[in-house]
Amino acid sequence: MGVAVHRPLARVPENGLKFAVGLMLVTFGTFWAGEGIGIDWPGGDAVLFVLLAAYVAASLAGVWAVRAMLRSRRVPLAVSLGD
């Protein structure tokens, strides 16, 4: 199985894959944490799509904001720790 899927998986952009997996982990984590504290989600399991959409929108807005700050050079590329 590993030999068969190695080549197609090698073409997947690593950062995009990490981004997508991170979004899924946060979405499921939020849902399950809510279930654990007794939240009765409106729509049941379908709320996962709403949570995912909210996290995608928030994370893309964050990426856009950081890129805009870096383009305008308001944020230094290297930050000194311990000043």
The vertex-47 CA angle with 45 and 50, nearest 5°, equals 145
d(CA 54, CA 7): 33
pLDDT tens by residue, 60-78? 999 998 888 888 876 565 6
pLDDT tens by residue, 12-47? 888 888 999 999 999 999 999 999 999 999 999 999
| Residue 29 confidence (pLDDT) | 97
Q: What pTM was computed for the model?
A: 0.74
Three-state SS for 75?
Answer: coil
| Residue 79 confidence (pLDDT) | 57
Helix runs in 1-83, H state only: 2-10, 14-36, 47-71
